[in-house]
Amino acid sequence: MTTMKTWMTIGLLILAGGLVGYSINNSDSNQTETLRVAFPSKRTIKTFEPTNIHVAYEYILLENLYSPLVEIDPKGGQVLPALAESFRWEGPELHFKIRSDVRTISGKQVSAADVIFSLKRVILLSQNTHGNFRDLICPGEVLNSVNDNCRGLELRGDTVVLKPGSQKTVLLPMLSAIDFAIIPQSAVDPKTLEIIDYRETTGLYYLDKQDDDGSMHLKQNPNHFRSQDGVAKEVTMVAFDPKVSPGALALFDEGKVDHLLTTNASKIEEIINYARNHSDVQLHATMKIKNFVLIFTDRGKRELTAEQRHIVGKKVRESFTKIYQGLPGYQPSEEFFPALGDGGLSDTQQAEIHRLIGQIKGNPPANLRIGLFKSGDFEQWATPIREVLPDADLYLEKVLPDLHTYKDPSEMPHAIIAGTDTGFMEDINLISYSLNTGFLGLKKSERPQWMANYMSLSNKEERTKTLRELHFKALADAAIVPLVIAPFVAIARKPWKMELSEIYANNQLWLIKR
């Protein structure tokens, strides 16, 4: 039987095949240690907050500015030390020994006290979408300030101790999310807990300055454990508006940037074709983990029956098949989690979904409001959808509905279409994010209990079964309708060489070397 690893490798080889072509302009940046990156936002740095991440480019910037206690191996998915030089379970307690050699750019040591402060800050701000940390560590306790006691958090010299009551296997990978970034206490306003100093960071890079146009200049912190030769000493995040020309690929072609992120806001097929035709460009492609999905909101689930949602989903899937048929990188998608991965449906469940969809007949309901969460060419999606849903109100969505408060209930769409990352391996942070943003179908009131039950399961097989059942229900009820799936892609101008993960969409800049 072909193994999943072999299958993944074959897919990547096919995708990467034929990357031979003609050279484009060489950039002066090839003679420097500055990496110029196209960044799809002109927002001020003050709006980027680890505990309130909504879109992928926020995560990518923050994971390069801050370090968590642990991180995930980009190749194999194992939990590795980061700001904690070591970690271990001692009975029901999780011990993290904090590195003594990490300092901010000003020379201040990043201490175990900063870790305790940062974890309490996560609990107090309580906006993070990548895991329910408070219920694990401070169940039933109310913290009003970082000075309040939490029985599940303890400082012992250079060691931070977490006490979740028992060995929770999901806790370590949860803490790898940048939501749990360790932030120096000196960089935070003590009253509001807002970050006020983006020079004092715990990651490989710190913010040196931000231009009026939104571009950010990052510099490498030589005091960081990831500081090394070959990695960019300086990074310029070249800000652009993905809704306005020129886009990321045009900036690259004009020699204004050297790297397009995995979340670069360009069309995947255009990036792949560009790399195939330019020999001085390296293409990076993940496995096919970018899923484009039709998600019905609370309004859509309230006003439409499951059958009506299936009809709408069938029509929208037809339009997406038309859009992406024959384009490199894409294939039709029938599941949110990949079939060969944790959370993928069983053969019996797949057969039942096919049976349900096969029975669907009738016309879609009229006057639907559908938000398109899309960068770049709005009409690429809108025009084919209008052909199958002619009276639908289609508009450009900027915020996922489950993360937005509507003053007028009629403003809420019945559904949105968005692309999100999924994965083959169990990823508690991805599961939590997908749940909290509405990608897995549950009502908001049902999500905390489901997550608490899931995280209480110590046996992975039981967790996989629970996740698979939730996945099946969301598809059977047509709370979500997968449309197409593709890889995340990035490109770099040689001699920069990307060693990014093929199983995650992360874009850690220390994995780009020359």
- 275-312 confidence digits (pLDDT tens): 999 999 999 999 999 999 999 999 999 999 999 999 99
Say what the pLDDT of residue 23 is: 32
Q: Is the pLDDT of residue 12 over 60?
A: no
Q: Which CATH number fits domain 32-43+203-286+489-513: 1.10.3720.10, 3.40.1440.60, 3.40.50.300, 3.40.190.10?
A: 3.40.190.10
The distance from CA 86 to its chain's CA centroid, rounded to whole angstroms, is 26
Sign of CA dihedral 372, 405, 290, 460: negative
- What is the location of CATH 3.10.105.10 in the chain? 290-486
Helix segments in 73-198, DSSP class H: 112-125, 133-137, 171-174
Q: Which of 80, 79, 71, 76 is nearest to 8 (CA)?
A: 76
Cα angle, residue 122 at apex, residues 120 and 127 outer, rounded to 5°: 145
Asked if 84 contacts 70 with a C-beta cutoff of 8 angstroms, the reply is yes
pLDDT tens for each residue of 423-448 = 877 888 888 888 988 899 988 889 98
Percent residues over pLDDT 70 in the chain:
93
Banded pLDDT at 9 (limits 50, 70, 90): very low
The mean pLDDT of 386-402, rounded to a whole number, is 92
Give the pLDDT of residue 131: 58
Average pLDDT over residues 191-204: 97
CA R_g for the chain: 23
Least confident window among 69-73, 87-91, 459-463, 480-484:
459-463
According to CATH, the topology of domain 70-187 is Dipeptide-binding Protein; domain 1 (3.90.76)
81 pLDDT tier (thresholds 50, 70, 90) = very high
Least confident interval from 203-207, 389-393, 447-451: 447-451
pLDDT digits (tens, 9 = 90+) for 118-157: 999 999 997 545 557 888 899 888 899 999 999 999 999 9
> Who's near 415: CB < 8 A, 6+ residues apart?
294, 295, 296, 297, 300, 309, 312, 368, 370, 371
Residue 127, pLDDT score: 55
Q: Please, which pLDDT band fits residue 231 given cuts at 50, 70 and 90? A: very high
* Other Cβ atoms within 10 Å of 46 Cβ, number: 11
d(CA 331, CA 337): 14
Encoding tokens for residue 272?
Answer: 């792949």
**Range(s) within the chain of domains with CATH label 3.40.190.10:** 32-43+203-286+489-513
Q: Is the pLDDT of residue 30 over 60?
A: no
Q: What percent of the chain has pLDDT over 90?
A: 73
Decide if pLDDT at 364 tops 90: yes
Peptide bond into 495 cis (omega under 30): yes
> Has residue 400 got a pLDDT over 60?
yes
pLDDT, averaged across the chain: 90
Per-residue pLDDT band for 24 (boundaries 50, 70, 90) equals very low
Determine contact, residues 322/303, Cβ cutoff 8 Å. no
What pLDDT, on the 0 to 100 scale, is given for residue 13? 36
**How many other C-beta atoms are found inside a 10 Å radius of the C-beta of residue 386?**
14
Q: What pLDDT is stored for residue 113 in this prediction?
A: 98
**Which class is 290-486 in CATH?**
alpha beta
CA-to-CA distance for 378 and 502, rounded, in angstroms? 28
pLDDT at position 509 is 98
* Of the listed ranges 7-21, 147-161, 314-328, 452-466, the one predicted with least confidence: 7-21
What does the pLDDT read at residue 102?
95
Question: How far is residue 511's CA from residue 480's CA, in Å, rounded to a whole number?
Answer: 34
Residue 29, pLDDT above cutoff 50 = no
Q: Is the pLDDT of residue 28 over 50?
A: no
Q: Does pLDDT of 381 surpass 90?
A: yes
Check: CB of residue 234 under 8 Å from CB of residue 33.
yes
Domain(s) of CATH 3.90.76.10: residues in the chain: 70-187
Question: Is residue 135 helix, strand or coil?
Answer: helix
Model confidence band, residue 27 (pLDDT cutoffs 50, 70, 90): very low
| Arithmetic mean of pLDDT, 341-360 | 91
The pLDDT assigned to 275 comes to: 97
Averaged over 472-494, what is the pLDDT?
Answer: 96
Residue with tokens 């990467």: 16
Q: How sure is the predictor about 2, in pLDDT bands with cuts at 50, 70 and 90?
A: very low
Question: What element of type H or E holds 34?
Answer: strand 34-39
HEC per residue, 44-97: CHHHCCCCCCCCHHHHHHHHHHCECCEEECCCCCCEEECCEEEEEEECCEEEEE
Residue 419: enclosing H or E segment and its boundaries? strand 415-421
* pLDDT at residue 324 in the model: 95
Where does the pLDDT of residue 326 fall: very low under 50, low under 70, confident under 90, or very high at 90 and above?
very high
Q: How confident is the model at residue 32 (pLDDT cuts 50, 70, 90)?
A: low
Beta pairing, strands 70-72 & 79-81: antiparallel
CA separation, residue 139 to residues 31, 37, 436 (Å): 54, 42, 19
Q: Residue for token digits 């110029």?
A: 36
- Check whether 6 has a pLDDT greater than 50: no
Q: How confident is the model at residue 60 (pLDDT cuts 50, 70, 90)?
A: very high
The span from the CA of 388 to the CA of 302, in Å, is 22
What are the start-end ranges of the E strands in 349-409?
369-372, 393-396
